[in-house]
């Protein structure tokens, strides 16, 4: 758990400074214990955030094994699930986030970074 | 288990096969011999609006309320508010059950537009939510309402399948009795994503079909591993008191048979059926239009009320006020029984609802009224509501319902004029006593005839009777047979007058003969007197002669004595003289 927290620490630090490239991103990653999928998801998220959201994101990590009641609040059915709380609307990305392209689409970062075809 | 033991399937099935847990759904537990397989999963599949969710809801609510089995509903399709409303339509109060810690409703909102999938995942989220809810109330029952939404929403079907299979295993390990609902797929598939292959113990299909513009609901048990079960399609209803399945063919004929006879009222009718019909039996009164079916039925109701019994009178043709007015015209005052709270009159157009709703309405009325006699006036009206076979099976269920409650049923049915014995919606085999009314037309008038077509367990009359609707009720008249058959109406009156006249003629002859006799007798008596007198005078003559004869005898004796004295010797004569002188 501590490892995971450490992974998200840079995000937390960057939270307060807003980047002029876009709105701040508030993310929440739901996992269930330290399964390989969970670990992969955390790592993949960190990579995406650092590359595309540097300085304007925060990530909250929720382990449902420890806080099962939280699953209801964000309508979690699968893990890992990444929830984009901000900017609105809420978006959910299910899976270990291994497909970066899809993650960017899911976070609606791709359209902002590069104009669509 | 022999094939003949249809009615007793329940007992052996539950002891040899799976343990079962009652659903509490009316009729379903009878149908399956105990309910759903305990600790296992059952699939309830059906099209949109077939009642899958309500089935699941009732299973949970009944469990929580009646069987001390708390439950969890994981709903993937409807919001919690919608579920509360739906449950309220069945009379279930979900918030109260949740508040008392016997139920958890977790509505999982899945909006495919809101998420995408990338990479590897599992459905641990569902597991965790479910496990938390189960733990919260100590659930024994789980309903997963349209779990297939997951398949549609998540790209990776292989993962969902694997996870679904894992979920079922997990539920089974937890000994949870589970109902999984599934949307009916195309091409006759039970479910869109073929999840029936994971649910191997029990599969139930609900169907909501429209035939001849009439909607009916059907339930069928496709599979029930380790248990015998009815294989037919059974009508079921969604009522304001929950679902209700009508498992007619699975129900044994177990009702009791009363020896008590109850009167049908009127004059002369009871005598035709051995002093009344058996309590709890079914009486069918059938006849063509205007033969007096309703009146006979009202008469029976009146008689029952007069005995202080409760009566339910359901009319599909007339309003209560109409019935009271019309029956008053033949001297049957139903209004007083309504006022006394003994009679419940209920008018309802049969076409207003489907057959099942009708059946349910009747059941509700029976529950509310608790009658010992029930009248259903003109069941023929029901044939407007459904196709022939459906009406028959519905009627069979209805009569079955009445019989199983020990209610004496009087039903009327309209038949149409035509040759041969009447057919009555195929229910004659369910009827114990069948009274047939018929109009005969002759001499420019129509008259009513009644006869007993059958009466089980009764030496019933073989006579056709004429019956009159008089100012004081129904009166049966003895049959009058004339030279050309049975006579009714004015023909009857004429025949009676003729036989009266003949009788009068015979009376006059008798009087004449009597007069002759009396005269002759008087003459004879007079002659006897005369002869007696003659006899008496002859006797007097004889006696007179006899007296004379005696006198002559004495005189002769005196003569002889004197003669003899003259002939005596002299010596004697002196002494005799001396003696004579001495004297």
Both tokens of B37, joined, read 């397989």
Query: Measured between alpha carbons, how far is B50 from B356 in angstroms, rounded to an integer?
Result: 14
Instruction: Report chain B residues whose CB lies below 8 A from the CB of A89.
Output: 114
Query: Does the beta carbon of A80 lie under 8 angstroms from any beta carbon of chain B?
Result: yes
Same-domain pairing of B159 and B279: no
Contact B128 A102 (CB under 8 A): no
Instruction: Report chain A residues whose CB lies below 8 A from the CB of B116.
Output: 92-94, 102, 105-106
Contacts 24+ apart (CB under 8 A), B92-98: B92/B57, B92/B58, B92/B61, B92/B242, B94/B57, B94/B61, B97/B61, B97/B64, B97/B65
Q: Over B208-226, what HEC string results?
A: EEEECCEEEEEEEEEEECC
**3-state SS class at B38:** coil
Buried b (16+ CB within 10 A) or exposed e, B238-261: bbebbbbbbbbebbeeeeeeeeeb
Spans of chain B below 50 pLDDT: 1-15, 249-250, 419-420, 578, 580-583
Domain ranges in chain A are: 2-109
Same-domain pairing of B474 and B499: no
In chain A, the N- to C-terminal Cα span, in Å, equals 41
Same-domain pairing of B245 and B320: no
Query: Measured between alpha carbons, how far is B395 from B386 in angstroms, rounded to an integer?
Result: 11
Query: Does the beta carbon of A47 lie under 8 angstroms from any beta carbon of chain B?
Result: no
**3-state SS class at B456:** coil
Give the best residue of B107, B111, B116, B144 to mutate against chain A (max A CB count within 10 A): B116
CA triple B425-B426-B431, angle to 5 deg: 105
Instruction: Report chain A residues whose CB lies below 8 A from the CB of B124.
Output: 32, 64, 78-79
Contact A96 B114 (CB under 8 A): no
Same-domain pairing of B265 and B246: no
B255 in a structural domain: no
pLDDT given for residue B518 in this prediction: 93
pLDDT given for residue B388 in this prediction: 63
B357 burial type by CB count under 10 A (0-12 exposed, 13-18 middle, 19+ buried)? middle
B555-565 tens-digit pLDDT = 888 888 888 88
Q: What residues 370-429 of chain B have any CB closer than 8 A to a CB of chain A?
A: none
Same-domain pairing of B242 and B268: no
B552 burial type by CB count under 10 A (0-12 exposed, 13-18 middle, 19+ buried)? exposed
B576 in a structural domain: no
Residue with tokens 């009224």: B369
B57 in a structural domain: yes
Query: Does the beta carbon of A102 lie under 8 angstroms from any beta carbon of chain B?
Result: yes
**What range does the domain containing B71 cover?**
6-197+215-250
B580 in a structural domain: no
Nearest CB among B108, B118, B132 relative to A99 is that of B118
Query: Does the beta carbon of A29 lie under 8 angstroms from any beta carbon of chain B?
Result: no
pLDDT given for residue B583 in this prediction: 46
pLDDT given for residue B179 in this prediction: 94
Same-domain pairing of B188 and B290: no
Residue B351 is classified by DSSP as G
Query: Does the beta carbon of B131 lie under 8 angstroms from any beta carbon of chain A?
Result: yes
Strands B282-287 and B433-442: parallel
The CATH code of the domain at A2-109 is: 3.40.30.10
Instruction: Report chain A residues whose CB lies below 8 A from the CB of B119.
Output: 40-41, 44, 95-99
pLDDT given for residue B537 in this prediction: 93
Same-domain pairing of B222 and B327: no
pLDDT given for residue A103 in this prediction: 85
**3-state SS class at B378:** coil
Instruction: Report chain A residues whose CB lies below 8 A from the CB of B146.
Output: none
Closest Cα partner for B306 from B285, B334, B278, B277? Answer: B334
Query: Does the beta carbon of B583 lie under 8 angstroms from any beta carbon of chain A?
Result: no
H or E element at residue A37 = helix A36-52
**CA of B258 vs chain A CAs: smallest distance (Å):** 60
Residue B252 half-sphere exposure, CB side, CA atoms within 13 Å?
A: 13
Same-domain pairing of B32 and B160: yes
Query: Measured between alpha carbons, how far is B216 from B229 in angstroms, rounded to an integer?
Result: 22
A45-100 tens-digit pLDDT = 999 888 888 888 889 999 998 888 888 888 888 889 999 888 888 888 888 888 88
Both tokens of B496, joined, read 């009676």
Q: What is the CA radius of gyration of chain A?
A: 13
CATH assignment at residue B267 = 3.40.50.300
Same-domain pairing of B57 and B138: yes
Same-domain pairing of B450 and B554: no
Closest Cα partner for B204 from B231, B169, B168? Answer: B231
Query: Does the beta carbon of A111 lie under 8 angstroms from any beta carbon of chain B?
Result: no
Query: Measured between alpha carbons, how far is A1 from A64 in angstroms, rounded to an integer?
Result: 12
B575 in a structural domain: no
- Asked if B386 contacts B235 with a C-beta cutoff of 8 angstroms, the reply is no
- Asked if A63 contacts A79 with a C-beta cutoff of 8 angstroms, the reply is no
Handedness of CA B546, B552, B553, B554 (dihedral sign): positive
B547 in a structural domain: yes
Contact B116 A72 (CB under 8 A): no
From residue B323, how far is each of B257, B316, B403 by CA, in Å?
32, 11, 25
Beta bridge partners of B242: B239, B240
> From the CB of residue B301, how many other CB atoms can be counted at a distance below 10 Å?
30
pLDDT given for residue A8 in this prediction: 43
Same-domain pairing of B241 and B299: no
Same-domain pairing of B335 and B397: yes
Contact A96 B119 (CB under 8 A): yes
Instruction: Report chain A residues whose CB lies below 8 A from the CB of B118.
Output: 93-99, 102-103, 106
Nearest CB among B108, B120, B132 relative to A77 is that of B108
B374 burial type by CB count under 10 A (0-12 exposed, 13-18 middle, 19+ buried)? buried
ipTM: 0.78
B342 in a structural domain: yes
Confidence of residue A10 (pLDDT cuts 50, 70, 90): very low
pLDDT given for residue B381 in this prediction: 65
B256 in a structural domain: no
Closest Cα partner for B299 from B259, B349, B337? Answer: B337
Confidence of residue A15 (pLDDT cuts 50, 70, 90): very low
Strands B233-239 and B214-224: antiparallel
For B154, name the nearest residue in chain A, comparing CA atoms only: A94
Contact B119 A40 (CB under 8 A): yes
Query: Does the beta carbon of B117 lie under 8 angstroms from any beta carbon of chain A?
Result: yes
If one counts the domains in chain B, the total is: 3
The pLDDT > 70 percentage for chain A reads: 76
């Amino acid at each position: 758990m501590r490892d995971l927290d450490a992974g998200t620490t840079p995000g937390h630090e960057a939270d307060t400074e807003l980047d002029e490239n876009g709105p701040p991103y508030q993310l929440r990653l739901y996992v269930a214990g330290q399964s390989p999928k969970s670990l992969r998801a955390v790592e993949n998220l960190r990579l995406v955030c650092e590359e595309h959201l540097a300085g304007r994101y925060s990530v909250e990590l929720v382990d449902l094994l420890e806080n099962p009641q939280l699953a209801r609040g964000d309508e979690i059915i699968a893990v890992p699930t990444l929830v984009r709380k901000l900017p609105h609307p809420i978006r959910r990305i299910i899976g270990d986030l291994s497909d970066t392209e899809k993650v960017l689409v899911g976070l609606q970062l791709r359209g902002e970074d590069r104009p669509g075809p | 288990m022999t094939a003949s033991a249809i009615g007793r399937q329940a007992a052996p099935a539950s002891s040899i096969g799976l343990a079962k847990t009652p659903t509490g759904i009316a009729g379903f537990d009878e149908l399956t011999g105990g309910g759903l397989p305990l600790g296992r999963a059952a699939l309830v599949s059906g099209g949109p609006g077939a009642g899958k969710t309500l089935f699941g809801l009732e299973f949970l609510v009944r469990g929580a309320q009646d069987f001390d089995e708390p439950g969890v509903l994981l709903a993937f399709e409807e919001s919690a508010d919608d579920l509360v409303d739906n449950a309220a339509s069945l009379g279930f109060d979900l918030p109260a059950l949740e508040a008392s810690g016997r139920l958890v409703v977790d509505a999982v909102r899945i909006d495919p537009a809101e998420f995408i999938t990338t990479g590897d995942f599992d459905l641990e989220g569902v597991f965790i939510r479910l496990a938390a809810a189960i733990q919260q109330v100590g659930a024994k029952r789980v309903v997963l309402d349209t779990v297939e939404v997951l398949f549609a929403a998540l790209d990776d079907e292989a993962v969902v399948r694997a996870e679904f299979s894992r979920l079922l295993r997990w539920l089974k390990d937890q000994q949870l009795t589970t109902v999984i609902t599934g949307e009916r797929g195309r091409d006759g598939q039970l479910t869109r994503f073929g999840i029936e292959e994971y649910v191997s113990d029990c599969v139930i299909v609900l169907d909501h079909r429209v035939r001849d513009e009439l909607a009916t609901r059907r339930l069928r048990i496709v599979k029930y591993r380790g248990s015998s079960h009815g294989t037919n399609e059974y009508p079921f209803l969604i009522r304001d008191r929950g679902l209700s399945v009508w498992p007619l063919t699975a129900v044994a004929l177990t009702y009791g048979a009363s020896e008590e006879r109850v009167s049908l009222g009127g004059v002369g009718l009871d005598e035709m059926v051995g002093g009344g019909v058996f309590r709890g039996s079914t009486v069918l009164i059938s006849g063509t239009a205007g033969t007096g079916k309703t009146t006979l039925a009202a008469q029976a109701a009146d008689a029952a009320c007069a005995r202080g019994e409760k009566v339910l009178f359901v009319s599909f043709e007339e309003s209560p006020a109409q019935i009271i007015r019309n029956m008053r015209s033949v001297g049957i005052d139903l209004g007083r029984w309504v006022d006394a709270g003994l009679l419940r009159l209920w008018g309802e157009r049969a076409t207003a609802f489907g057959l099942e709703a009708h059946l349910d309405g009747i059941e509700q009325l029976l529950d509310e009224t608790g009658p010992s006699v029930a009248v259903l006036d003109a069941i023929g009206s029901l044939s407007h509501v459904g196709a022939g076979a459906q009406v028959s099976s519905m009627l069979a269920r209805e009569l079955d319902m009445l019989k199983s409650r020990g209610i004496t049923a009087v039903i009327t049915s309209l038949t149409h004029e035509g040759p041969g014995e009447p057919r009555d919606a195929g229910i004659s085999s369910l009827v114990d006593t069948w009274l047939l009314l018929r109009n005969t037309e002759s001499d420019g008038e129509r008259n009513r005839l009644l006869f007993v077509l059958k009466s089980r367990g009764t030496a019933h009359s073989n006579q056709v009777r004429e019956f009159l609707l008089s100012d004081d009720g129904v009166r049966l008249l003895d049959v009058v047979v004339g030279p050309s058959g049975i006579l009714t109406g004015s023909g009857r009156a004429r025949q009676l007058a003729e036989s009266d006249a003949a009788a009068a003629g015979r009376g006059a002859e008798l009087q004449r003969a009597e007069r002759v006799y009396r005269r002759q007798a008087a003459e004879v008596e007079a002659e006897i007197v005369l002869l007696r007198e003659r006899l008496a005078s002859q006797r007097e003559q004889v006696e007179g002669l006899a007296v004379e004869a005696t006198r002559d005898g004495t005189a002769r004796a005196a003569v002889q004595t004197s003669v003899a004295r003259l002939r005596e010797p002299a010596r004697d004569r002196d002494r005799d003289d001396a003696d004579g002188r001495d004297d």
